[in-house]
Amino acid sequence: MTLPGPEPRARRRAFARTRPKTLTPPLIAVLNGPNLNLLGTRQPEIYGSATLDDVEALCAEAAEQLGLAIDFRQTNLEGELITWVQECRGRASGIVINPAGYSHTSIALMDALKAVDLPVIEVHISNIHRREEFRHLSYVSKAATGVIAGLGIGGYGLALRALAGLLEEEGEA
Ligand code: CA2
- DSSP letter string over 85-112? HHHTTTT-SEEEEE-GGGGGT-HHHHHH
In this prediction, residue 11 carries a pLDDT of 47
Ligand 1 neighbours, Cβ below 6 Å, are 35-36, 38-39, 41-43, 47, 98, 100-101, 103, 124-126, 128, 135
Shortest-distance atom of ligand 1 to CA 100: 5
Against a cut of 0.85, is the pTM above it? Answer: yes
Q: Which residues of the chain have pLDDT under 70?
A: 1-22, 173
Q: Which of 125, 130, 137 to mutate to test the pocket of ligand 1 (most atoms within 8 A of CB)?
A: 125
CATH of domain 24-170: 3.40.50.9100
What does the domain layout of the chain look like in residue ranges?
24-170
Please state whether beta strands 69-74 and 94-98 pair in parallel, antiparallel, or not at all (unpaired): unpaired
Please give the pLDDT value at position 23: 81
Contacts of 145 (CB under 8 A, 6+ apart): 119, 120, 121, 166
